[in-house]
Amino acid sequence: MATLRLPYLMTAAVSGALFGAGLYVSQMVDPLKVLRFLDFTAIPSGGWDPSLAFVIVPAIFVMFVAVRFGRRRSAPLFDTEFHEPEYNKIDNRLVGGAVLFGIGWGMSGICPGPAISLIAFQPDGLWLFLAAMLAGSLAGGLILPSGHRRRLADARR
């Protein structure tokens, strides 16, 4: 199985390590800093922290270049195909999911990446949050399968 070969797993490890380093260096690992970005009410008083925008824009730019480069190749280095999402319709599930995630993110300042990287520092309440996040994800998975396959079939038409 290709996904169990060493180069494949090394790539996953290097990517994960770069991601973790990036989350700490950018301080997106700090939920309170993320909340200070999301708090637009602080803009008039000058207390707003725009750092998050300075994280996501260069990240998108680097990835954009990589995607461009990848388009000229038929396959990634260690697999037979690029696993690009096939489904491209904007549906209620996408928007509804984004709304619910937006509420959770606004309540906590924690999105899934920082939630995992915070394991390195174990702040109080983190395991509770992670357990709830996993439970939420599993619950979401329960309502997915049949509809998801049908949508994929639709997308291929």
Long-range contacts of range 20-24, CB-CB < 8 Å, 24 or more positions apart?
A: 20/117, 20/120, 22/55, 22/59, 23/113, 23/114, 23/117, 24/117, 24/120
44 binds another protein (CB under 8 A): no
**Collapsed DSSP state (helix, strand, coil) of residue 110:** coil
Minimum CB distance to another protein smaller for 87 or for 154: 87
User: Could you give the C-alpha distances from 44 to 26, 36, 40, 95, in angstroms and in order?
Assistant: 24, 13, 8, 30
43 binds another protein (CB under 8 A): no
Query: x/- string (CB under 8 A) for another protein, residues 46-75?
Result: -x-xxxx-xxxxxxxxxxxxxx-xx--x-x
155 binds another protein (CB under 8 A): no
Q: Considering only residues 76, 150, 152, 154, which one is a binding residue for another protein as defined by CB under 8 A?
A: 76
Minimum CB distance to another protein smaller for 141 or for 153: 141
What are the residue ranges of helices labelled H in 39-125?
A: 51-71, 92-108, 112-117
6 binds another protein (CB under 8 A): no
State the nearest-atom distance from the C-beta of 68 to another protein, in Å.
Answer: 9
State the nearest-atom distance from the C-beta of 116 to another protein, in Å.
Answer: 6
100 binds another protein (CB under 8 A): yes
State the nearest-atom distance from the C-beta of 2 to another protein, in Å.
Answer: 9
Q: What is d(CA 84, CA 75) in angstroms, rounded to the nearest whole number?
A: 11
Nearest to residue 137, comparing CAs of 102, 101, 113?
Answer: 101
Q: Name residues contacting another protein, limited to 108-127 (CB under 8 A).
A: 108-113, 115-126
Q: Which amino acid is at 15?
A: S
